[in-house]
Amino acid sequence: MKEACGVFGVYAPDRAVAQLTFDGIYALQHRGQESAGMAVSDGETITVVKDMGLVAAVFDERTLSGMHGHLAIGHTRYSTHGTSEWNNAQPAYRPVGRAGFALGHNGNLTETDALIERAGMLPGMTASDSDVVAGLLALAFPESAGDPADGELAGAIETVIPELAGAFSFVLMDASHLYGIRDPHGFRPLCLGRLGPSEDPEGWVLASESPALDVIGATFIRELRPGEMVTIGADGVRSRQLFDDDQISDRLCIFEFVYFARPDSQLHGREVHGARRRMGELLARQAPVDADMVMGVPDSGVPAAEGYAREANIPYGQGLVKNRYIGRTFIDPDQQARVNAVRRKLNPLHENIDGKRLIVVDDSIVRGTTTRSIVGMLRDAGALEVHLRISSPPFRWPCFYGIDTPDRDELLAAHRTLPEIGRYLGADSIAYITLENLKEAIGAENVGFCDACLTGHYPVRVPVTFSDHPTDPDPGPGVAESTGAERNETRRDDILQGALPGV
Ligand code: SF4
């Protein structure tokens, strides 16, 4: 499962906005590692620099020193729609009006074919759904577009954005204004911050996550509301709602709390790290097991493991070391390559593990390849028992809202019972947190979440019908235990059927 893009924008007349944008997207690197880019305006000209690779590989001091202006947007990308190539790197730029406009997108639109037709583009010729939106905005500019201060981009946004379906948090800019927009369900986060004191602001910032504000010394003001558009310019920040009341329904992606967002992010008024720790505490109450040590799978499983250990009064320890320097330098083409990738990324601490009964806390299981490899590694390192505790419910449905997930048939929990999952993974026991406990751990009141990948209830129509929905077994709550003989039997069958490489 991969994150899908981080967006950033800053309006700050007396500051080096290119450097601020570099720091901002650097703080959002976890949301996308395929490409990075920024657009900077000096009020007359918009300069765009973007390329494949990590933020620090795309920008250096020399590049940044040539990008002058008072206004910028930045983007880090992981592709969910469109291939991983330079054309799809963002910001997308269109030379309409006096200086043109640039756009950065986090999310995924659901009815792209109809949009492509409306934009008069040829199917197969568009780089990404963000490219289609840029095309539609360009079409919506009046013929006479000239002075960007006249707000032509704002007018085009107000025409085009309410027609879009799916998940989108956008940052946009023309030569003199910065815009931030969230879709009416608020699937993807977007927050507003201020540079300088409240009585005399030096600038305004938009970012996918609040740590991107912290690193540049901006003060977190608030999250944008679902369906809200903010316009930032010389006259400060203005807000308006782009959607009707009956179109708005708060559905922040629940996996932002479980996995995607940084632990130091503020979402729905909560710090993500605390929510993850509480997930572990509730999981310990829900699915206790006797063991010698609780460990987390780095990184996002660690806070939940700490919570589990504290609640269960079992020592917490580190069992796996993560190589932090592995970027996404290649696409894992098959199961064997993914197994190898896990071994490159994680290595067991033998002395901590040998002879111990372990509770291993992880945030989620998608295909199961990673988890199965981890269980195998821990056993090879001498673990006596491996009890898996997962701080999200079974992941059973693909995401269409901006997260790169495999087809339904590749999801481990899509068609299996809980005991089958436990045996496949080679665990002594397995339990997933319930959806009720997950929401209780997050603790945000009077807000809604998207949980479609857990429940199959998609808040926005998706392009696929799953005919087997009612008949699939739901792994459900509870704990499934398996014996060594059962696990060996599953492994033997998997190898015979070619479902697993014989490793
Ligand atoms: Fe998030 Fe799942 Fe909804 Fe996708 S389907 S937005 S991953 S909760």
Claim: this prediction has a pTM higher than 0.85: yes
Per-residue confidence (pLDDT) for residue 72, from 0 to 100:
98
- Of 338, 283, 327, 333, the C-alpha closest to 305 is 283
> What is the chain's Cα-based Rg?
23
Question: Ligand 1 test: best mutation among 453, 455, 464, most atoms within 8 Å of CB?
Answer: 453
- Of 303, 423, 420, 314, the C-alpha closest to 358 is 314
Question: Ligand 1 test: best mutation among 185, 450, 458, most atoms within 8 Å of CB?
Answer: 450
Please state, as a whole number, how many other Cβ atoms lie within 10 Å of the Cβ of residue 454.
22
Per-residue confidence (pLDDT) for residue 491, from 0 to 100:
61
Residue ranges lining ligand 1, Cβ < 6 Å: 187, 253-255, 399, 401, 403, 450-453
- Nearest residue (by CA) to ligand 1, atom 1, is 253
Atom of ligand 1 nearest to the CA of 454: 2
Q: In sequence order, what are the beta bridge partners of 36?
A: 51, 76
Per-residue confidence (pLDDT) for residue 330, from 0 to 100:
43
For residue 400, how far is its CA from the centre of ligand 1 (angstroms)?
A: 7
- Nearest residue (by CA) to ligand 1, atom 4, is 399
- Nearest residue (by CA) to ligand 1, atom 2, is 453
Question: Ligand 1 test: best mutation among 168, 187, 267, 401, most atoms within 8 Å of CB?
Answer: 401
For residue 185, how far is its CA from the centre of ligand 1 (angstroms)?
A: 12
Per-residue confidence (pLDDT) for residue 323, from 0 to 100:
87
Atom of ligand 1 nearest to the CA of 188: 6
Question: Ligand 1 test: best mutation among 403, 454, 462, most atoms within 8 Å of CB?
Answer: 403
For residue 1, how far is its CA from the centre of ligand 1 (angstroms)?
A: 11
For residue 248, how far is its CA from the centre of ligand 1 (angstroms)?
A: 17
Per-residue confidence (pLDDT) for residue 500, from 0 to 100:
43
Atom of ligand 1 nearest to the CA of 397: 5
For residue 301, how far is its CA from the centre of ligand 1 (angstroms)?
A: 18
Atom of ligand 1 nearest to the CA of 395: 2
- Nearest residue (by CA) to ligand 1, atom 3, is 450
Can you give the pLDDT of all 503 residues of the chain as single tens digits? 655 799 999 999 989 999 999 999 999 999 988 899 999 999 999 999 999 999 999 999 999 999 999 999 999 988 655 556 677 889 999 998 777 999 999 998 988 777 777 777 766 666 678 888 999 999 898 765 555 555 789 999 999 999 999 999 999 999 999 999 999 999 999 999 999 999 999 999 999 999 999 999 999 999 999 999 999 999 999 999 999 999 999 999 999 999 999 999 999 999 999 999 999 999 999 999 999 999 999 988 999 999 999 999 999 999 999 987 765 444 454 556 666 778 888 999 999 999 999 999 999 999 999 999 999 999 999 999 999 999 999 999 999 998 888 888 899 999 999 999 999 999 999 999 999 999 999 997 788 999 999 999 999 988 776 655 544 667 777 788 887 777 766 665 554 444 443 32
For residue 254, how far is its CA from the centre of ligand 1 (angstroms)?
A: 7
Q: In sequence order, what are the beta bridge partners of 168?
A: 107
For residue 413, how far is its CA from the centre of ligand 1 (angstroms)?
A: 15
Q: Which of 5, 191, 399, 453 is labelled catalytic? A: 5
Question: Is 453 one of the catalytic residues?
Answer: no
Residue 19's identity, in one-letter code, is Q
Atom of ligand 1 nearest to the CA of 459: 3
For residue 60, how far is its CA from the centre of ligand 1 (angstroms)?
A: 35
> What DSSP letter does each residue of 81-137 carry, written as one string?
SS-SSGGG-SSEEE--TTT-EEEEEEEEES-HHHHHHHTTPPTT--S-HHHHHHHHH
Task: Give how far the C-alpha of residue 25 lies from the chain's centroid of Cα atoms, to the nearest Å.
Answer: 14
For residue 264, how far is its CA from the centre of ligand 1 (angstroms)?
A: 20
Per-residue confidence (pLDDT) for residue 120, from 0 to 100:
74
Locate tokens 């932090």: which residue? 324
Separation between Cα atoms, residue 171 and residue 102, nearest integer Å: 8
* Residue 358 near residue 293 (C-beta atoms within 8 A): yes
Atom of ligand 1 nearest to the CA of 254: 8
Atom of ligand 1 nearest to the CA of 449: 8
Please state, as a whole number, how many other Cβ atoms lie within 10 Å of the Cβ of residue 304.
32
